[in-house]
Amino acid sequence: MSQKHAHKDWLATCPKGLELLLAEELQALGATGLKETVAAVHFEGSLELAYRACLWSRLANRILMPLHSFMLNEADDLYQQCNVIPWESHFTSEQSIAIDFIGTSRLIDNTMFGSQRVKDAVVDRIRRVEGERPNVDTKNPDIRIQVRQHKGRVSVSLDISGESLHRRGYRSGQGSAPIKENLAVALLLRAGWPAMAAEGGALLDPMCGSGTLIIEGAMMAADIAPGILREHYGFQNWLQHDAELWETIREEAQQRKITGLENLELDIRGYDANPRVLEYTTTNIENAGLDDHIRLAHKPIDQFGKPTAERGLLLTNPPYGERLGDVDELIPLYQKLGTVLQKNFHGWRAGIFTGNLDLARETDLSPHKQYSLFNGTLPCKLLIFEDMTSKSAQIAARLQQPAPARDLTEGTMMLVNRFKKNQRRLDGWLKRNDISCYRLYDADIPEYSVAIDMYEGAIHVQEYAPPATIPEKDARQRFAEVKEAVRAYAPKAGRNIFYKERRRQKGDNQYQRLAEEQSPGQSMVVNEGRAKLEVTLSDYLDTGLFLDHRPVRKMLGEMAKGKKFLNLFCYTAVATVQAALGGAKETLSVDMSNTYLDWAGRNFELNQLDSSAHELERADCLTWLKATTYNDYFDLILLDPPTFSNSKKMESVLDVQRDHAELIRDTMTKLSPNGVLIFSNNFRKFKMDELISRQFSVENITPQALDMDFERNPRIHNVWKITRRSTFG
């Protein structure tokens, strides 16, 4: 197989929080074997793909070619292992090098020392082969080498990108606090700009600064490769560089740029109150070759009128008190922005990227969605607004339109009375245990087969599948009475009631949202003990928080102090949050769903968990457990698999009854000698394998894992405590 088509392992690095977007971008470019990690994505592909990633990735910082990986058992291992790499196949003694050394450990606790030892190993190897040594140039090297150590493992890579890919080559001037180009792209993607641009929507930034958002937005819409202006990449000095292949890829990008600019007819505008900043912006736009496609004007935010375009995206990164001005001085700016949006931008979508949510609240608008991202090291939020009606106006409208009174049916009154009875029974227990999210009703009256959960003022109603003997008409009538009873029981809940109605239909979509009752994308933060957790009551069948597992999470939090915790099939990693808050020194949470891992990351941020100690990994747990490359042992493990899964992302089908024995045995290989495995599942007819009970110490702790609000449904889950059998006695 030729070098051009041979597949290699690659690593793309990116700012923290952009991993999912980067993985999707690399997949679109043709990458396979994608695996996300903190601030990076592993992928597989040919040299051609790596070249395309350097030229076309709008999100990556660097593209690395891994050369060697080893465990650091002694300090001298760093020199010895780096000296065996055949550096002479990558560059000559006539070329200059630079070493980027990242991470510290007990053996190598100084990055400058680590860099020096790697340099010695590389230089000695080249001198031994060629008789001459390469020079070191930390500013403009011909070859850049990255060495990273983490948890005792050292990875050595060749940086084929050269300087960071976020440096496009068009920026010659900037405002006081610019955002990096790849972060700007992430904001545009999260705000839905590609789809909006395809439909002819406009793009506007009322506080454009150096113009990064509008320039990147125009380049995306015109199909312009983000690296087209760069004069140099690291691979161009690499001995194995395929210049002919690179030139073909670059010429293709040049032609796409020409075609894209010819077809670019969107209304893209930038405004700023500082005329001097706009001088820099003008130069940047000209450097990008977009001066015929982007309009600039000097205009303060409070002078905005109604836009000429009927629909579009207003996206902006206003100052938020960290680097520009005082917070109190910025309040009027956000208030003016909110007023402008409410008055003139109905029908538009707006995105505000800020590191100060208190300032964002001054807009008097309710975000439709929000995303957690970092601006450098600063945690920030991208708030997306679809409805430009002010919060105060929404509240006033609801107060002026009370629900009309009506006579309640006998069934509805019976339900209301049961809700009140259950609440009285639970009140004392809820108060004593500081529980704010709980199950109020669980098919207590068989004819009304629903589960009703309370989430700090919001209500989640989930219908169980009606028996086949119940006519569809009757099932609908009973669910309508449930809705009536919920509204009568909690008249002030308003639109904070969310229904999941199961209907007999083909396919997987057995649950339907009721559009007249609720809107998608609504999330809220609730409390469980010390933890703050994000739940979404409208978008999914599951809310992000399994209430029946509350006792299990509490138990894990009490057991976790000073221990290493592993959470398999972690879902939104709520159990990990509780373990971390309970004092776990390290945690690893594994799931194959990008959606859930992204959600878990937001839960970590809500609780200010350090990502270096509390890691998330996207993987099929069945495959991950079989892997031999991960040698860590954990003191405490939660294994909570689904009852059944045949996801396309999995390499095999999971049936918990059939497969639990093998799953438990594989998990026990990751458990430290005195560790504890908590195994849980929701299969009502589950029976523990007898061989497992003989091989390990197995204790059924299901009764202790049920709280008062789930006493009516004792078979909702099974929980087992598993340890290794003592070799004594």
Domains of the chain: 8-159 (3.30.2130.30), 181-222+264-395 (3.40.50.150), 404-512 (3.30.750.80), 546-724 (3.40.50.150)
The pTM for the full model equals 0.59
CB neighbourhood size of 414 (10 A): 15
Least confident residue range of 179-188, 235-244, 257-266, 410-419 = 410-419
Q: Compute the average pLDDT of residues 272-292.
A: 93
Let me know: does 667 contact 723? Beta carbons within 8 Å: no
Decide if pLDDT at 405 tops 50: no
For residue 571, the model assigns a pLDDT of 94
For residue 414, the model assigns a pLDDT of 92
653-664 pLDDT, tens digit each: 889 999 999 999
Decide if pLDDT at 536 tops 60: yes
Q: Compute the average pLDDT of residues 418-430.
A: 92
For the four alpha carbons of 171, 177, 183 and 184, in that order, the dihedral sign comes to negative
Residue type, 323: R
Decide if pLDDT at 433 tops 70: yes
Q: Which residues contact 703 (CB under 8 A, 6 or more apart)?
A: 714
For residue 183, the model assigns a pLDDT of 97
Report percent pLDDT > 90 for the chain: 71
309-345 pLDDT, tens digit each: 999 999 999 988 754 446 778 889 999 999 999 999 9
Report CA-CA distances (Å) from 317 to 399, 466, 486, 680.
Answer: 34, 50, 42, 45
Decide if pLDDT at 426 tops 90: yes
Alpha helices in 11-133 (DSSP H): 19-29, 47-56, 77-83, 111-130
Beta-bridge partners for 378: 375
Kindly list the strands in the beta sheet with 718-724, ordered across the sheet, starting from the edge strand earlier in the chain: 614-618, 586-591, 564-568, 634-639, 671-681, 718-724, 696-700
Higher pLDDT, 265 or 538: 265
Q: Which residues contact 71 (CB under 8 A, 6 or more apart)?
A: 77, 152, 153, 154
For residue 394, the model assigns a pLDDT of 64
366-397 pLDDT, tens digit each: 898 999 999 988 899 999 999 888 766 665 55
For the chain, give the mean pLDDT. 89
Q: Compute the average pLDDT of residues 675-692.
A: 94
Highest mean pLDDT among 57-61, 406-410, 449-453: 57-61
Least confident residue range of 43-52, 453-462, 643-652 = 643-652
pLDDT band of 178, cuts 50, 70, 90: confident
CB neighbourhood size of 334 (10 A): 23
Q: Give backbone dihedrals phi and psi of 88, rounded to 5 degrees, phi first.
A: -65, -15
Alpha-carbon distance of 202 to 309, in angstroms, equals 6
Angle at 112 between CA 107 and CA 117, to 5 degrees: 65
Highest mean pLDDT among 107-121, 382-396, 463-477: 107-121
Decide if pLDDT at 716 tops 60: yes
For residue 517, the model assigns a pLDDT of 43
Alpha-carbon distance of 490 to 419, in angstroms, equals 10
193-217 pLDDT, tens digit each: 999 999 999 999 999 999 999 999 9
Q: Compute the average pLDDT of residues 498-508.
A: 61
Q: Compute the average pLDDT of residues 572-585.
A: 96
Q: Compute the average pLDDT of residues 249-261.
A: 97
For residue 320, the model assigns a pLDDT of 83
Alpha-carbon distance of 444 to 24, in angstroms, equals 45
Let me know: does 182 contact 227? Beta carbons within 8 Å: no
Q: Give the position of tokens 């509240």.
A: 395
